[in-house]
Amino acid sequence: MVPGKSFWHDDGVGLNGPGVLFRTTYVTLSIVDHPPSDYTSEDEISFVETGAFTLRPLHSELGVGWPCAPGMLVVAPRGTELARDGAESGENRCLSVAYSAELVDALRTAGLPLLRPLGIHASPRQRFLRRRLRAFRAASIDERCALRLDLIAGALFESVACPRWVATDVKSPVSGRVMRRIAHAAELIESDYARPLKLADLAAAAEMSPFHFARSFGDLVGVPPHRYLNAVRLGEAVRQILDGASVTTACYAVGFASPSHFTVAFKQCFGIVPSALTRAPNPALVRALNIGPWGRRTSKNSKALARSALYAQLNA
């Protein structure tokens, strides 16, 4: 995904109190003292950290409710009306990801379905993504954090919206040690994407065999290591071009060996050539690019969105 402007807010309470941990143009990561209730203005996916309560979607069949406890995942699309019963709000803590309407619309155009109200036990992949979101509490803030949050949030959205699409979404238990090692490899990609990282390098960093690493990475991250590396490089290249860098400068800065290779990879992912960004960097085009690797199963739709936004700008 293409990172936008971001800021860090530290209210001194961290996981023990409410507050915005990190925000990009399209995603907000927060610690809240209760899950979404009443009327939600944004699509939100929340992990229950502490507390026990029951959520009931209003205007639904009588008796429908979700008993929530630590380890549960709560999904509240924008416009959802929820009622909460049980513990006092001060006893509850949730790690919440909120998605802007613009990003959700772009993901829908790319082929991902709408979220629907849910209260479920988090899958191993979702618990892995929660671990990665928690790491923002202690992260050293730099310009790469926005791209990282957008990618993790996109993976979480996909895992909830269309779990059947994720053929590799692991169902068996995954140890904390494996999650830590895969998270370390993902962070290595996100920080050292400009280096010529090979599967063997990443597996060695994770202290795993290449076969076990590749399988575990795909299960937990949602895409193979090379595809994730490509997504990070392309997302960072878009940010640099939108900030004024030339296509050639961005190409080499993010680790591509040649402009021709970069152009081919960019067009395969987004349906347009990178120079189009210098001619028409409009918000609609940026949102089209912001779907990252999570619209990969319906790439024709995402390419059509990018092209239509570009043509609209050129013909205005």
143 has pLDDT over 70? no
Q: Which of 239-243, 266-270, 271-275, 290-294 has the highest mean pLDDT?
A: 239-243
Q: Is the pLDDT of residue 165 over 50?
A: no
pLDDT attached to residue 252 = 96
Q: What pLDDT is stored for residue 13 in this prediction?
A: 38
Residue 312 pLDDT greater than 90, yes or no? no
Do 227-314 and 7-122 have the same topology in CATH? no
Q: Is the pLDDT of residue 299 over 80?
A: no
Q: Is the pLDDT of residue 197 over 60?
A: yes
| Nearest-5° Cα angle at 161, 157 to 162 | 115
CATH code, 227-314: 1.10.10
Q: Is the pLDDT of residue 240 over 80?
A: yes
- Whether residue 35 is predicted with pLDDT greater than 90 in this model: the reply is no
Please state the domain extents for the chain: 7-122, 227-314
pLDDT at res. 37: 56
What average pLDDT does the segment 58-69 reach? 69
Q: What is the pLDDT of residue 62?
A: 47
Q: Candidates 3.40.50.300, 3.40.50.620, 2.60.120.10, 3.20.20.450; correct CATH number of 7-122?
A: 2.60.120.10
pLDDT at 108: 77
9 pLDDT above the threshold of 50: no
Alpha helix (H) residue ranges in the chain: 101-109, 124-134, 144-161, 176-191, 199-205, 210-221, 225-242, 247-253, 259-270, 276-279, 283-289, 299-314
Quick check: 39 pLDDT over 70?
A: no
What's the mean pLDDT when you consider all of the chain? Answer: 77
